[in-house]
A and B are shown apart, each in its own frame.
Chain A
Amino acid sequence: QKEVEQDPGPLSVPEGAIVSLNCTYSNSAFQYFMWYRQYSRKGPELLMYTYSSGNKEDGRFTAQVDKSSKYISLFIRDSQPSDSATYLCAINNAGNNRKLIWGLGTSLAVNP
């Protein structure tokens, strides 16, 4: 079993839709959960991170962690064509400095 699983998609939605992107992980020791966004022909950029459980909101984006289910989600409200990108989850075991475990990324297309 991979440490982090992420459905690669592709996911195609109409503009204005609510998008849900998800990752599952296997190691209950993971504590830091990050979402990176990668536009075509660009490097990834950090979108949001959460520590332990709970929700974190930033504008149209909400990151959610369910440690009991080992499941993390990124919700995008009122999706825009500019949200079209690949979204990668990255998870860290705080006991291992800077060691990020990456999901494969989900490709999202928001159609006008």
Chain B
Amino acid sequence: EAQVTQNPRYLITVTGKKLTVTCSQNMNHEYMSWYRQDPGLGLRQIYYSMNVEVTDKGDVPEGYKVSRKEKRNFPLILESPSPNQTSLYFCASTFGSGQVYSPLHFGNGTRLTVT
């Protein structure tokens, strides 16, 4: 089954404790992206990658890191999480790098709580 898999689904952590949210897709997509979704603010892009070893900042990259060492994986790293990073996070992927109409395939989300 074609899918984007995120882990974990739920995560509660404390301020300053480094964490990684994993994302993997099995559709051989070139493009991958991370979003956070907050009430009243909607979906905001954190980082995106157009291919292996190519990453770029989205609208809200502060406090996050990403890497793209393999085509299928795109982990999101929070080096020193803070309470304002409490959010619902989504990974998404699609084919190509410039087709604006190609559908984004989303994972089922990671609910992160930072206390």
Q: Which residues of A contact B (CB under 8 A)?
A: 31-32, 34, 36, 41-46, 49, 51, 88, 92, 94, 97-100, 102-105
Partner of B100, one of A32, A41, A105: A32
State how many angstroms separate the Cβ of B10 from the closest Cβ of chain A. 11
- Majority SS at the chain B contact face: strand
Minimum distance in angstroms from B97 CB to a CB of chain A: 7
Given contact pairs A41-B109, A45-B106, A92 touches B43 in the complex (Cβ within 8 A): no
Let me know if B104 is at the binding interface, CB within 8 A: yes
A105 in contact with B42 (CB, 8 Å): yes
A97 touches B98 (CB 8 A): yes
Asked if B103 and A42 sit within 8 Å, CB to CB, the answer is no
B74 contacts A by Cβ under 8 Å: no
Q: Which residues of B contact A92 (CB under 8 A)?
A: 100-101
Instruction: Tell me whether A41 and B108 are in contact (CB under 8 A).
Output: yes
- The answer to whether A49 and B101 touch (CB under 8 A), given A43-B4, A43-B92, A88-B42, is yes
